[in-house]
Amino acid sequence: MKKRNTILILGIISILIFISVQVFVLRGIWRTKQEMFDLRYKLLSQEAVSFLNRRYATDGFDTARFMIKGYTEKFVKEQLPLIENDSMLQARKQEIYGVISGILNQEQDLSEFLSSYFERQRFEKNFNHMIIINSLELVNFDERIPVFESEGYANRRPPQLARDTAGPREKHSSEILVNRFFTEDNNYRIFFDYYIDFSDKKTLIMKETAASLMMSGFSIIVVVILFLITYRNLMEEKRLSNLKTDFINNMTHELKTPLSTITVAGKTLEMPQIRTNESKILETAKLLGKQSIHLNQLINMILEISMWERTEFQLDRKKVRIEEVMNDIVESFRSGCGNCASLTQKYNFNGVATDLDLVYFTTLMNNLLSNAVKYSDKDPVIDIEGFTEENNICIRIADNGIGISKSDQKHVFDKFYRASSGNIHKYKGLGLGLYYVKKIAVAHGGDVTVSSKPGKGSIFTITIPY
Ligand code: ADP
């Protein structure tokens, strides 16, 4: 149990490590793809900007510049002289910033040009643009009036200009810087950056990494499945090896009992007082005969099963009336080891005849009946019921014995399996009886099933086609 848990824990840890490595690798791939994506669009957009410059001698902001020029000229001339104090100027700065950033955003032609350029190159054409003003100044003759300066810009330059609150929104890492613009005119100076941002960038990258994602997911699934299969095989091997050990113990126990009886009987016959007593000799001889038959049966069963492993199951089938066969088997069982049991039979076979190997079928029935007696902790009551159903003959053997737990029911037909492994010597056996039953039923084209409740009894049902 401890070893089993260790294997399971080690396996789970290895799988977790494997998954972490996969996640780590995938994150690396994702980051690289993202960088490649940004680089691709950065290069492409810069190419577009230089094309625009060469072909049309513009950078896409001519209209905007023209409008800003008009606005600032008017402002400097008409409004600035009216501003009386610093707080009035502060309030107007907010307005100037708003108007100019509005003009830059609405009156630029770069976005439209980039979009059609991307489309022509068969790239994604839907993006959002973003303009970040780094610094903005009004220029009044020799005097520079700072309107806005972003924090980053202030860090790069000596702090002559005060930072204003009217700042733009923060730039995110997903946005791609296309170009930086610096414009100086009679009435203003502006320095701004133009960014583009693909809102469905994640989906686009996801499409590109889909193969790696799928491969990685697939390899995780394969590793988990392989682990489960290996673990199951290991456990199965362990179970079989335990069964084998149990079988050897049981067999030794089973063989020892008749052997020691035979040894004792032999010793008894050597005694002079026994040799003169004819009835004692007869009794001992009978005991010897019975025990050697039992020993013979045990050895035959083991030999037969090992023969089944190597050769095909050979049946010698004959047409028989099932009701008559059942009556014979039950009667001889009643007079033999079933004499302590109360047996009832109820048949409704409608006189059907079926092809059976009588020897094997009798063994099958005897195994089920003797188990019903053996696995009982009170006076055994056995009900045998027979009927036909969909071209099958069905025989149901119900007992009032100790029953079989749900988990054991799955294995009772396995070779060497003994349900009462904790209490193995209380009920003698080799774990071969039901294996035998199943083999014989299947060889006849039928099957055997069990339903049982521990403490209440068991019902075994044999079905054989007729
Ligand atoms: P064996 O009787 O030699 O152990 P079997 O193959 O006949 O082997 O049975 C396998 C196991 O199934 C038994 O060890 C027993 O625990 C359980 N079993 C079989 N028949 C019955 C029954 N009628 N009632 C309760 N348990 C049963």
pLDDT at residue number 153:
59
Burial of residue 34, with CB atoms counted within 10 A of its CB: 0-12 exposed, 13-18 middle, 19 or more buried: middle
pLDDT at residue number 80:
80
Which of 177, 156, 164, 157 is closest to 138 using CA atoms?
A: 164
Query: Positive or negative CA dihedral for 419, 423, 427, 430?
Result: positive
Q: How far apart are CA 263 and CA 266, in angstroms?
A: 5
Residue 167 has pLDDT above 90, yes or no: no
Residue 328 has pLDDT above 90, yes or no: yes
Contact 415, 435 (CB under 8 A): yes
Taking only the tens place, the pLDDT of each residue in 76-127 is 888 888 878 888 888 888 888 999 999 999 999 999 999 999 999 888 888 9
Cα atoms in the Cβ-side hemisphere of radius 13 Å centred on 10:
8
* 243 Cβ closer than 6 Å to some ligand 1 atom: no
Taking only the tens place, the pLDDT of each residue in 411-449 is 899 888 888 654 555 777 788 889 989 999 999 999 999
Q: How far apart are CA 76 and CA 141, in angstroms?
A: 9
Which of 112, 114, 108 is closest to 47 using CA atoms?
A: 114
pLDDT at residue number 53:
92
The contacts of residue 153 (CB under 8 Å, 6+ apart) are: 134, 135, 191
* 420 Cβ closer than 6 Å to some ligand 1 atom: yes
CA angle, corner 152, sides to 148 and 156, nearest 5?
A: 100
Q: What is the mean pLDDT of residues 378-405?
A: 93
Residue with structure tokens 């190597």? 310
Encoded tokens for 20: 């972490």
Taking only the tens place, the pLDDT of each residue in 274-319 is 888 888 889 889 989 988 988 888 888 778 777 777 777 788 899 9
pLDDT at residue number 201:
83
Residue with structure tokens 């299969």? 229
Closest residue by Cα to atom 16, ligand 1, is: 419
* 430 Cβ closer than 6 Å to some ligand 1 atom: yes
Which of 147, 149, 118, 157 is closest to 132 using CA atoms?
A: 149
CA of 399 to the centre of ligand 1 (A): 12
CA of 111 to the centre of ligand 1 (A): 83
Closest residue by Cα to atom 25, ligand 1, is: 403
Taking only the tens place, the pLDDT of each residue in 210-253 is 888 898 889 889 999 999 999 899 988 988 888 888 888 888 88
Residue 159 has pLDDT above 80, yes or no: no
Q: How far apart are CA 461 and CA 450, in angstroms?
A: 6
Confidence band, pLDDT 50/70/90 cuts, at residue 171: low
CA of 52 to the centre of ligand 1 (A): 90
Encoded tokens for 107: 């009156």
Q: Decide: helix, strand or coil at residue 63.
A: helix
